[in-house]
Amino acid sequence: MYSIKAHAKINIFLKITGHENGYHTLLSRFMRLSNLYDTISFVPCKCDSFTIEGMDEIDTNSNTIYKAFVALNDHTGNLDLLDFFQHHKVVVEKNIPSLAGLGGGSSDAGAFLRLANKICNLQIDIPTLADIGSNVGADVPFFVYDYPMANVRGFGEIIEPFYEEPFEVELFFPAIGCNTTKVYNTFKSDLLCNITPEKYMHWANLNSKDIIAEACNNPEILNDLFGAALLAYPDLSKEAPKGWLFSGSGSTFFKPYDIISSKKGL
């Protein structure tokens, strides 16, 4: 059996910088969470078709792992890859909540690509593997590179490592899940005209502690999608803990343990 951890991430900040060809561009700081992850395993099994266990609630054709397999197969046409998954099934131990803004599906796809590349000896370099992953989802390249911290730009395909020590955070999971497409569509229809990305481009050069301290009195400044999520899911405002920070397209909130709690009473 072969296994790999698929870590969750949070967005320290997320600023929408524009909209092109039907997609939003962004500037964001991603941080990998060391203590929250799914586990992807390749387990010996004679399989008539590509088989995933542990995610029965998701249709196979919609599963990011299956999409990653298809994208990888389309790129390589490698018969050894097909043969391997006729003799192995994919087993997922799922711990990252869905619809939570933590990148669970994208992380699963990125981890799958890295493990399949290694085990099947495909010898694909990481930039190419990340490009393959971008066909699955905008966040997948970050998880292919597997940096602890990175600035992510464009449509999610530009990954720049940010050399800063990751820090521990506390997470809060509301009872409400946020659909990414719905949140982005709400942002496009109601908030896109209000963006001022030039005001925040310097954040890419600041450490996360300074950025959080700068914006902690107004969490909406850190994440442009927070306002869109509140519009799309009005009940989320009742669930949001005061002063906590919003990750991704939601609905998870996070609070750094040792950055602003002592100064701001969080």
Q: Does residue 264 have a pLDDT over 80? A: no
The pTM (predicted TM-score) of the whole model is: 0.92
Q: 110: domain range?
A: 2-161
Q: Does residue 262 have a pLDDT over 80? A: no
* Helix %, strand %, coil % of the chain (to 5): 40, 25, 35
pLDDT tens digits, residue range 5-33? 999 999 999 999 998 877 899 999 999 99
**Same domain, yes or no, for 150 and 59?**
yes
Active-site annotation, residues? 9, 139
Q: Does residue 220 have a pLDDT over 90? A: no
User: How large a percentage of the chain has pLDDT more than 90?
Assistant: 80
Which ranges constitute the DSSP H helices of 153-239? 180-190, 208-215, 219-222, 224-232, 236-239
pLDDT tens digits, residue range 119-177? 999 999 999 999 999 999 999 999 999 999 999 999 999 999 999 999 999 999 999 99
**Same domain, yes or no, for 8 and 52?**
yes
Q: Are 229 and 190 in contact (CB under 8 A)?
A: no
Distance CA 62, CA 9 (A): 21
Q: How many domains in the chain?
A: 2
Query: Of 137, 161, 185, which one is at a domain's C-terminal end?
Result: 161
User: How large a percentage of the chain has pLDDT more than 70?
Assistant: 96
pLDDT score of 218: 82
Q: Are 151 and 162 in contact (CB under 8 A)?
A: yes
Q: Are 184 and 228 in contact (CB under 8 A)?
A: yes
- Report the range of poorest mean pLDDT among 144-148, 188-192, 214-218: 214-218
Q: What is the CATH number of the domain that holds 197?
A: 3.30.70
Structure tokens at 42: 């390749």
Query: Of 138, 161, 184, which one is at a domain's C-terminal end?
Result: 161
**Same domain, yes or no, for 13 and 134?**
yes
pLDDT score of 259: 58
Query: Of 121, 140, 161, which one is at a domain's C-terminal end?
Result: 161
> What end-to-end distance do the CA atoms of the chain give, in Å?
44
Distance CA 183, CA 195 (A): 16
Q: Does residue 207 have a pLDDT over 50? A: yes
**Same domain, yes or no, for 114 and 6?**
yes
**Same domain, yes or no, for 48 and 83?**
yes
pLDDT score of 11: 96
